[in-house]
């Protein structure tokens, strides 16, 4: 049995919050507008409405697509929301912006959007997935011109890694049914989260709306009901995409398309005669064999080319491992080009971030779950953001009470829905939630 809080005081408090919100909205609009100060654009940049995110043409003899950009954060942004809107994974946006809080970044902060990629080293046909970069590349050739679509992916965990090698798409399915593997069912049972043998299409199906089955048994490329997991080692070996990305991939990919899954943390590419290096931090923290190989390739390339390499820059790129193509040939570097900053353009913050969780209005006759009661506002906002990005979504907000901050999830239509959220909070986030029932006659 879960503890149920008979909180007439809390409900009175919630009612007061609603009234205060209305008062502030109608009486304080002008004051709020004067505080909504937009940071001026950098003098070297020009605001841009759009930037290529997934579709690129591949110039002959070149290995790099896209370009870097940056955007200024607004209050309430999270890096997962920014990442999804611009077609990036959590791994990519985190590596490119070290030290920035994932869930409660500071408003006005300048965020790098790493929308430039070195193509994997190998045949450019079909689907190529680089596990080290957690990114999928789909190559298409039309009239001797080559184009590529690219999407971030979630991949297998250390315990259940995604297999590497040459495969192909054996079949496709819209609104797939998930037949739960015995190993996954057992793992969930041990956590106190028993699963049915079959999960039909719907919000609780982890395969999402579209699935492309590989010829390797039990492995798929599919969507997800947990978008915030894209760019993480979060699957049981499958390749997971954002819902909007897998839909496009599904439509563009015929059965029997070849799929190459490889692991390349160190990538070398050319653009406009310059040599670039892109480094992704290996999952185990070090990879001596791969590192030795990349040094050998760089030395051979330097001998073969007419350009000298900046080896201090090479060391810096290897050490930082930001997953961004950085010019390392000396002749390609001018002032400010060491980190690729001269190539970045400013992107105007969108009016609405695609896929950002929407929090429904408070209802006095609904059920709620108290997820946390904290003294620090930022800690409370961080927990609320994490809960909001669970899959399927759990609406959460922070409500101040005196000098403390409560994280309240809801509203929920009945006790069963609220009780299910209590279980999910416990299993997914190890949070002990408390049920809050509606007030009598509310």
- Would you tell me how many other CB atoms lie within 10 Å of the CB of residue 171? 12
* Cβ pair 398, 384 in contact under 8 A: yes
**Any idea which residue has 């709306």 for tokens?**
209
C-alpha R_g of the chain: 24
Query: How much is the average pLDDT of 110-133?
Result: 96
Per-residue pLDDT of 278-319, as tens digits, reads 999 876 655 778 888 899 999 999 988 878 999 999 999 999
Residue 327 has pLDDT above 50, yes or no: yes
Q: CATH for 122-182+191-262?
A: 2.40.440.10
- pLDDT recorded at residue 29: 31
Query: How much is the average pLDDT of 92-101?
Result: 96
Distance of alpha carbon 125 from the chain centroid: 26
**Are domains 122-182+191-262 and 357-442 of this chain identical in fold?**
no
Distance CA 234, CA 229 (A): 6
29 is catalytic: no
Measured in degrees and rounded to the nearest 5, phi and psi for residue 128 equal: -125, 125
Distance CA 229, CA 155 (A): 9
349 is catalytic: no
For 93-111, letters b (16+ CB in 10 Å) and e give: bbbbbeebebbbbeeebeb
Per-residue pLDDT of 342-377, as tens digits, reads 468 999 999 999 999 999 999 999 999 999 999 999
Domain 357-442 has CATH 3.30.70.1070: yes
Which of the four pLDDT bands, split at 50, 70 and 90, describes residue 440? confident
- Catalytically annotated residue among 85, 238, 280, 389: 238
Per-residue pLDDT of 38-86, as tens digits, reads 333 433 444 555 788 899 999 888 999 999 999 999 999 999 999 999 9
User: What is this structure's pTM?
Assistant: 0.85
- The 3-state DSSP class for residue 81 equals helix
Per-residue pLDDT of 240-286, as tens digits, reads 999 999 999 999 999 999 999 999 999 999 998 899 999 998 766 55
- Catalytically annotated residue among 11, 29, 188, 222: 222
Residue 33 contacts by C-beta under 8 Å, 6 or more apart in sequence? none
What average pLDDT is seen over the chain?
86
Query: How much is the average pLDDT of 136-145?
Result: 90
Domain boundaries, the chain: 122-182+191-262, 357-442
Distance of alpha carbon 129 from the chain centroid: 17
**Cα angle 40-325-230, degrees, rounded to a multiple of 5:** 80
- pLDDT recorded at residue 85: 96
């Amino acid at each position: 049995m879960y503890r149920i809080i008979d909180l007439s005081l809390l409900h009175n408090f919630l009612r007061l919050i609603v009234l205060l919100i209305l008062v502030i909205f109608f009486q304080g609009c002008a004051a709020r507008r004067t505080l909504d100060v937009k940071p001026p654009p950098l003098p070297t940049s020009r605001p841009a409405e759009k930037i290529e995110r997934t579709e690129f043409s591949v110039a002959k003899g070149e290995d790099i697509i896209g370009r870097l950009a940056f955007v200024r954060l607004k209050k309430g942004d999270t890096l997962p929301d920014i990442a999804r809107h611009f077609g990036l994974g959590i791994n990519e946006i985190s590596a490119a912006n070290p030290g920035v809080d994932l869930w409660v970044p500071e408003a006005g902060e300048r965020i790098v959007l790493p929308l430039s990629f070195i193509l994997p080293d190998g045949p450019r046909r079909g689907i190529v997935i680089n596990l080290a970069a957690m990114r999928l590349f789909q190559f298409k050739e039309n009239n001797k011109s080559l184009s590529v679509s690219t999407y971030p992916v979630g991949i297998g965990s250390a315990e259940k890694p995604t297999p590497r090698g040459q495969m192909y798409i054996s079949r496709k399915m819209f609104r797939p049914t998930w037949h739960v593997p015995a190993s996954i069912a057992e793992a969930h049972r041990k956590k106190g989260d028993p699963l049915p043998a079959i999960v039909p299409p719907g919000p609780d199906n982890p395969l999402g709306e579209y699935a492309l089955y590989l010829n390797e048994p039990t492995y798929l490329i599919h969507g997800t009901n947990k978008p915030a997991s894209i760019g993480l080692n979060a699957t049981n070996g499958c390749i997971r995409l954002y819902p909007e990305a897998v839909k496009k991939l599904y439509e563009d990919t015929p059965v029997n398309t070849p799929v190459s899954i490889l692991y390349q943390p160190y990538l070398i590419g050319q653009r406009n005669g310059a040599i670039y290096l892109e480094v992704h931090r290996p999952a185990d923290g070090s990879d001596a064999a791969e590192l030795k190989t990349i040094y050998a390739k760089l030395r051979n390339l330097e001998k073969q080319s007419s350009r000298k390499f900046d080896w201090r820059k090479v060391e810096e790129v290897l050490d930082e491992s930001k997953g961004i193509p950085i010019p390392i040939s000396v002749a390609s570097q001018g002032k400010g080009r060491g980190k690729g900053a001269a190539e970045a353009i400013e992107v105007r913050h969108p009016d609405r971030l695609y896929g950002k969780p929407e929090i429904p209005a408070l209802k006095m006759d609904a059920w709620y779950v108290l997820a946390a009661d904290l003294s620090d506002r930022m800690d409370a906002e961080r927990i609320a953001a994490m809960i909001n990005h669970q899959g399927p979504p759990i609406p959460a907000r922070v409500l101040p009470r005196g000098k403390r901050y409560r994280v309240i999830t809801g509203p929920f239509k009945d006790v069963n829905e609220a009780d299910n959220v209590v279980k999910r909070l416990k299993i997914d986030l190890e949070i002990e939630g408390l049920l809050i029932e509606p007030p009598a006659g509310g």
